[in-house]
Amino acid sequence: DLVFLIDGSTSVEQQTFHLIKKFVERIITNYYYIGGSLRVAVYQFGGAGRLEVPLGNQNDADSLTHTISNIEKVSGPRNLGASLTYVLSNIYKETTTTKLSQRGNVQQSIFIISGGKSDDDVTGAVQLLRERGITVTGVGHTSSQLDAVVSTSSHWFKFTESGTILKSFYNIISGLFFTATQSTLHRLQPFRSPMSTRVASANRELTVLIRTPQAISKLPTFRTVRTIVSQIITGLQVGPDNTRVALVTIGGTPKVDIFLNSLSGKAELLTAVEKLVPVGGPLNLGAALQVVVNSVLKPEKGSRIHLGAPTMLVTILGGKPADDVSGSVVTLNGLGVRHVVLSGGYQDTKVLDSIATSSRLVKTWSSFQSILNFNLGHFVYKTSLLHRQVQMILLLQKCSKLLTNSAPIATVFNIRHCSTVHPVMFDHVRTIVSQIIAGLDVGPDSTRVALVTVGGTPRADISFNSFPGKAELLAAVGKLAPAGGPRNLGAALQLVANSVLKPDKGSRSQLGSTTIVYTILGGKPADDVTAGASLLR
């Protein structure tokens, strides 16, 4: 159990408070087991402290981070002592010890984010913390008083200069959660390197979303959709240790008909598909995708996505979604889910491309009946991510979290577009880029992203000022196509140094902005990289 104490006193500026909230959000997104092995509470201290998130009140990272982002600053004096007393009396009170022990000797921790010395006395609360064995970790400005609050000196990340704390938040996450307090927070099960996973390469997961008709006259169409689903399943090796399948019906209120661990074999699965009935209502695809995120892709429901299992989502549509899908699409991209869209009768490629992981994963037909003549099993297998590629995506996601600062940052992607890249492999490279972008706070005043293609003649496809937000950026990445030519990485690096990192292209490197370059390669560069690498250094 982890309680965040965040400083909302008058001395904390609004911009600082915003970054404090972002810091907490990003710590939380490093953990998959929100509502499981990790429970979080958030308490804001100021003149009148306020419990913003009760312990265990949110069951998933999305709802938790959304709640945190909406917290308003309380202002007033910095009453840290009162906030610690509140935690001891109301959150970690002794009467809850029995309930906590039922979760398996739960580690109780407090994480303090403070701008300076407390305006009230902390001595009594600190003594109780010691007696109760509650671990205290924190980050903030130098203060002998705060040194006394934390469990050991290594648990306090101190800053002396105003503003330094803001520029170092991500570095703190790196040190805190992967080095300095590993022994303290070892029960929280942080993100594990995918290279150490034990998921066999044959293990895959497939979730199918199907449209259900509003009118009884459309039932023959629904039967055709069921047949399409059966065809996909027939071509898979279904089983607990092979491919697991889930199914969600899209309607006014999306419904999970089959979880990933509901049925153990292909025969049972096909029988269950034949018994599906339509739920009716509008085509609320956005809500259905959110159901996949919040309910289907969970360990207790049979999902192995947290272990690096390749996970695919197939959505079968027959019309335009009735609700917004953008937020759910970004979340699924961030989880590394490969999203295929099959559409019968509805052929607005702009809308469909915005739903799928990439435009190559969108297939349209004049009717659902026409889909039956297509080799769906082969298509699903061909477009699914290999286990090694999923590992690379997850590892790069982890790197992006550790390397990125809360201060303004610039990220440049060099991706290979040479003649040796197969179109399907290029899809995977593009997906890797999308996953990293999905985990960033993209915007003109936060992280800016540029993209350069490596080929015979390197090309800057996206400049730092090309797009204002994440949705537009991801859409542009999804439309990238291979350019061909030799793998001239040296020329691409020089293009970054001489053209991309310029003020008129949106670069802030001359203002001291942290700049990271990701280069994604599949072979030896065809030219000399020395000059380009030297320029960047």
pLDDT digits (tens, 9 = 90+) for 229-260: 988 888 778 888 888 999 999 988 899 999 99
- State the pLDDT confidence band at 196, using cuts at 50, 70 and 90: very low
Q: Which pLDDT does position 308 carry in this prediction?
A: 64
Number of helices and strands in the chain (H, E): 20, 16
Ramachandran region of residue 280, left (φ > 0), alpha (ψ -120 to 50) or beta? left
- Top pLDDT among 297 and 106 is at 297
Give the residue-averaged pLDDT of 513-535.
87
**Per-residue tokens: 106:** 């739960």
Task: Detail the DSSP E strand segments found in 168-232.
Answer: 204-211
pLDDT (tens digit per residue) in 121-137: 888 888 888 888 888 88
- State the pLDDT confidence band at 180, using cuts at 50, 70 and 90: very low
Q: Which pLDDT does position 187 carry in this prediction?
A: 34
Rounding to the nearest 10 degrees, give the CA dihedral for residues 393, 397, 398, 401.
Answer: 170
Q: Which pLDDT does position 246 carry in this prediction?
A: 94
Give the residue-averaged pLDDT of 17-30.
77
| Phi, psi (rounded to 5 degrees) for 333 | -60, -40
pLDDT exceeds 50 at position 173? no
Q: Which pLDDT does position 157 carry in this prediction?
A: 55
Using CA atoms, how far apart are residues 344 and 342, in angstroms rounded to an integer?
Answer: 7
- Options 3.40.50.2000, 3.40.50.410, 2.60.40.790, 3.30.365.10; CATH for 2-184 is 3.40.50.410
Give the residue-averaged pLDDT of 61-78.
88
Q: Which pLDDT does position 415 carry in this prediction?
A: 66
Give the residue-averaged pLDDT of 214-218.
48
- Top pLDDT among 427 and 50 is at 50
pLDDT (tens digit per residue) in 363-374: 888 888 888 877
Helix (H) or strand (E) holding 397: helix 387-403
Using CA atoms, how far apart are residues 1 and 363, in angstroms rounded to an integer?
Answer: 45
Q: Which CATH class is domain 405-535?
A: alpha beta
CATH topology of domain 204-388: Rossmann fold (3.40.50)
pLDDT (tens digit per residue) in 254-290: 999 999 999 878 899 999 999 988 877 889 999 999 9
Q: Which pLDDT does position 214 carry in this prediction?
A: 54
The least confident of 28-32, 65-69, 219-223, 517-521 is: 28-32
Q: Which amino acid is at 417?
A: H
CATH 3.40.50.410 residue spans of the chain: 2-184, 204-388, 405-535
Q: Which pLDDT does position 86 carry in this prediction?
A: 93
pLDDT (tens digit per residue) in 280-317: 788 999 999 999 999 999 888 998 876 667 788 999 98
Which one, of 314, 178, 318, lies nearest residue 245 by Cα? 314
pLDDT exceeds 80 at position 378? no
pLDDT exceeds 50 at position 164? no
pLDDT (tens digit per residue) in 428-481: 677 778 777 877 788 888 889 999 998 888 889 999 999 988 888 888 887 887
pLDDT (tens digit per residue) in 313-358: 999 988 899 999 988 887 787 677 888 899 988 889 899 988 988 7
Task: Tell me the C-alpha to C-alpha distance, in Å, between residue 399 and each of 192, 193, 402, 410.
Answer: 12, 10, 5, 15
Instruction: Output the average pLDDT for the chain.
Output: 76
Cβ neighbors of 79 (< 8 A, separation 6 or more) are: 9, 45, 46, 47, 49, 118, 119, 120
Q: Which pLDDT does position 170 carry in this prediction?
A: 40
- Top pLDDT among 115 and 112 is at 112
Give the residue-averaged pLDDT of 202-225.
69
Q: Which pLDDT does position 420 carry in this prediction?
A: 54
